[in-house]
Amino acid sequence: MKYVTEIKLAIIGLGYVGLPLAVEFSRKREVVGFDIDHQRIKNLKAGHDVTLEITREELTMSTQLIFSTELDDLRQCNCFIVTVPTPIDDYKRPDLTPLTKASETVGKVLKPGDLVIYESTVYPGAVEEDCVPVLEQFSGLKYNDDFFCGYSPERINPGDKEHRIMDIVKVTAGSTPEIADLVDALYGEVITAGTHKAESIKVAEAAKVIENTQRDLNIALVNELAMIFNKMGIDTEAVLKAAGSKWNFVPFRPGLVGGHCIGVDPYYLTHKAQAIGYHPEIILAGRRLNDSMGGYVVAQLIKAMTKKRIEVDGARVLVMGFSFKENCPDLRNTRVVDVVTELQDYNCKVEIYDPWVMADEIESEYGITSVVVPELGIYDAIIVAVAHDQFKSMGATSIRRLGKSKHILYDLKYIMSEAESDLRL
């Protein structure tokens, strides 16, 4: 059984996961960074990363990193790390299209002895049951005889400048014991926090998918608690602070659950569970509750406006923040869009202000054109939906100046005190 020992590395997919990984590996060895998006490659060659994960200086210093859209540039490589997204479709089902296409690309250049490592979040079994057959079909090679696979799930936290890729423990796995050692050693070159070598690829796949499922369920619990406490007239943040005084209380906060991980990964696990004949009740219940939070937020706002005798029909509402999390331009699966569409159903005139996101990206992704720089004194309601640093620095007084003399200020992210806002989750 011959496998690669002198690694010539390629990263397939240069998004939030692939680019930081490529930059980090390029400090140690030559790397081909491959992406099918020609504009993305053009921007990176010019030193510009639209995800804002990598600085111009870091790109300039990555002299061993070659950016390419050309298949021929992959032929010189013998180790391929696939970092493409794994979204869900409109029916909450896993969409493996990007993963399949990436596997086809790698399969076309795969040679005897080569190694393919996947980082994309999948359900247990996906690498060997869904990806390997594609690699075999397009390469004409046999798995674990002619080529080998590994899995090392991504743990990137977009917008987080404190926990970078090298600072987060990396789970690794391989299709044979020897390959597991090789994959672990490869990541050990760049991950200073250390690695955890899992017993199998399936174990590593399962570990990744439950990380965000666990967080999703914890947030769902706190969201439900917030609904209960709101009915009782109790401030949820005050309750959580009090409970947090115990050493083993887990500090989660209520809110909209979006993004390409927490709001997506549980559906990969539930899909696989249902495929083997098990209906996961708790996981899906948490998903349903979290997916309903946009409607709950709007219902609370409409109720508050009505009590204050603010006309809802035609009301001008400012939504502050549209990305799925703070200090990040990532729009994927943002649940702020649920708030916007619910408000539009009430015939409200919704405007969005987000200094982190380009207006044309919001329009392209969601068809929303009402992205503005807000004016003073014109809004009937203001919703702080994302806790960007810019909004925190504004403070409640400056934010309220955007509203009319009579308005509602809804703080979804607890960036101000209970007394400073009219509504909180």
Provide the annotated active-site residues: 261
Q: What are phi and psi of 412, to 5 degrees?
A: -80, -20
User: Could you identify the residue written with the tokens 């919703």?
Assistant: 383
CB-count exposure of residue 69 (10 Å: 0-12, 13-18, 19+): middle
- The per-residue DSSP string of 36-69 comes to S-HHHHHHHHTT--TTSSS-HHHHHH-TTEEEE-
SS3 state of residue 318: strand
272: left (phi over 0), alpha (psi -120 to 50) or beta: alpha
SS3 state of residue 402: coil
> Using CA atoms, how far apart are residues 419 and 21, in angstroms rounded to an integer?
44
> Using CA atoms, how far apart are residues 80 and 154, in angstroms rounded to an integer?
15
Distance in angstroms between the alpha carbons of the first and the last residue of the chain: 58
- Whether 368 and 352 have beta carbons less than 8 Å apart is answered as yes
Closest CA to 32 of 3, 57, 12: 12
Q: Length of the chain in residues, anyone?
A: 425
Q: Which two tokens stand for residue 396?
A: 């409640």
> Using CA atoms, how far apart are residues 352 and 48, in angstroms rounded to an integer?
25
SS3 state of residue 346: coil
User: Could you identify the residue written with the tokens 């076309």?
Assistant: 108
Closest CA to 191 of 43, 25, 31: 25
